[in-house]
Structure 1
Amino acid sequence: MSNSPHQPQIRTHRVAFVVYDGVTLLDVTGPLEVLHQANRAQGSNRYDTVLVSEKSGQVTTASGVVLAGVVAAAEVGAVDTVVVAGADHLVDGVPTEVAEITRALADGAERVASVCSGALVLAGLGLLDGRRATTHWRHAAAMARQYPTVNVEPDALHITDGRYVTSAGISAGIDLALGLVEADHGAELARATARELVVFLQRPGGQSQFSTALDTPPARSDPLRVVTETVVADPAGDHTLPNLAASAAVSPRHLTRLFQSEFQTTPSRWVERVRLDRAQQLLLDGHSITKAARLSGLGSDETLRRAFARHLSITPTEYLRRFQTA
C-alpha cells in the first residue's frame, strides 16, 4: 500500500540479527516474527530484516534447524538496529567473530539489542558498562559477577537504557521486539501485533516467576558452600544469620560479605528465595497455601504471599494458575 501525498512518510527500519552456528532458534525467529507481523498489520514495510554472520549462506541453530539467506557482515551495509541472538555456549566465552561483527554493526547503528545470553556479547564489548541490563535468569548471577560494572536486573523481561535494549531468555525476545515496535511506531501497532501473535503486549510479572534459587551457581568459598548446602537440604530449618555463620565457622559479618560478593544478595534474602522455591513446589504438588508456608519455613500464609509479591510479583493463586498442569 503506497502513501498518499498527504500521508506522513513511513520510515523503514533496517534490523540486522547477528547469527552463528549454535544460536538459539527462538532468539532469532521470535523477534523476526514480531517484525513481520508489524509489517502485515498495516500493510506497510516498516521493518527490513537481515540475518548477518561471518560468512554468507546459512547457519545451523542449536536445535538443528538451518537458517538460510544469511548475509556476510562485510556485505550487509548500514543498519538502524542490531539484535544479537543468544546461545548456551556464549556463557563459556564469546567467539571472536561474533564480537567483531557485533562491534562493527553497533558502531553505526542507532540501537543495539540482545536476546537472552546475547547480552554477554554486549557486556564483553563494554557497551553495557554503567548501564542497566538483563539476560536469562539462569545467567544473570554469572553475568553480574563477570561484568561488575553492568547493573544486571534479573527480574526484568526487557530493559532499555539509552540506545541499548536487552531482554531475558528466549521467548522474552518477543517481548523485546514488541517494545521496539511500540517505541518506533506507537502502542496501537504494538497492540495489533501482539493480538495477531496471541501474546501479552506487557506480560504479567517478571522472569523471576520462572527461575529457581536452587540454580544459583555453586559457591566458590568453602564456608558459603557449607551454608548453601545446609539451607537447601532443609529450607524450614532455623537459618538465622548467627546460626548460619556458626555452621560455617565464620563471623556473621564475614558471611554477609561472602553472600554479597558471590551472590549479590544478603543471607536472609537468599534463604527466603530458597524457601520460596520450596513453597512453589509444594503448591504444585497439591498442598494448601497454609501447609506450603509451614513446610517451606516461610511460616504463615501472609509471609508466603509477601514473598511471592516481593520475588515474583504475583500471588500464589496466580502462580498456580500459570504453572499447574491441566
Structure 2
Amino acid sequence: MNRTSPPRSAQHVRSSVVPSDPIADELRRYDDHLRDVCGLAAGTRRNHCRIVAQLLRKKFAGGVVAMAKLRPADVRRFIARQLGDSPSHSAAAQVATALRSYLRYRTICGDSVASLTAVISSPVQWKLASLPRALKPDEVQRLLGAFPNGRWPRRGYAIVRCALDMGLRAGEIANLLIDDIDWREGTVTLKGTKSRRQDILPLPMTTGQALADYLQHERPATMSRAIFVRQRDLRDIPITTAAVQKVIHHACRRAGLPNSGAHVLRHTLACRLVEQGSSLKEVADVLRHRSLETTRIYAKLDTPNLAEVALPWPGSES
C-alpha cells in the first residue's frame, strides 16, 4: 500500500470541488454593488455586466482579475472592437457608460484607474438634432386595426392602448398589478417607475375598456396579482418587459409598419398632445419627465408656432 496517497474519501472530496471562476466572482461582486449601492434596475445591471465581462475575459482569460495589468491601450482596443467600423451613438454610449461604471467601482475597491478612465471618450451627440420617431394618425389606426389578430388579441390590444393612450413604458406595463387600478376613481397608480417614485395617472376610457375586456374574457384564472400574465410550461407567470416589446413589434408587423416599441408609442402620444396645443409642461407631466430638458425635443414638432418665429429666407420678399 502506498502510504503517501490520500484516502479514497479525500480523493472524492477533492474531485467534487468545483473550480472557482475569478471573473465570474468579480462580476457577481460588481453586480451586487450596482444593485445595493447604485440602485440600478436588473436590465441595466445585466447590460453593464455583459460589457464588462467581455473586457475581463479578453484581458484575463479566466485568470485572476488584476487591475494593475490592465493598460489604457487594452481599454482603447476593446472599445474599438466593440463599436466596429460604423458605431451607433447608442452602442457607443452603452459601452462608455458600462466601462466608466466599472472603473468607478474599482476605485472604491482601492485601485488607481485614472489613466484607464481617461481613454473612454463620450460619444458626440448634438442636443435636439433629431426628431422623435412617432406614428402618424393613419398608422395608429392601422396598428389598432391589427387586432383582433394574434394569439392573445385582447391582451395585445390592452398593452398597445396603455402605451398609446397613457405613454407607459414597457417595464411599467409589465409591472401593472390588479390593485394599481382604481376603477371607481378612474386612476392608475404606477410604482417603481424609472424615476423611482409613485405616480397616479388618469385612466382614459379607451384604455380602461381594453383592460376590462382583457381581464373579463381572456386573462387566465390565476392567483397572480399581475394584470398581464402569460402561460409557460402550463404555468401562469407575469409578463416581462421584453414580452411587452415583442407584443408591440408583432402588432406593427401585422399592420405593415416598421418595428416599433413602447417608446415610439410614447412619442406618438407626446406629438398628439403638442399638435392639440398642450404646453411642454403638460407633456412632461403626462410622460412623467423629471426635467423639462427631456421634453424640449417635442417643441420642434409644434409647426404652427415655429412658423411664426421663423426668419425669412435670405433674398425672399418677406
TM-score by length of 1: 0.26
Whichever structure has more helix as a proportion of its residues is 2
TM-score by length of 2: 0.27
Question: 1 or 2 for the larger relative contact order (CA 8 Å, sep ≥6)?
Answer: 2
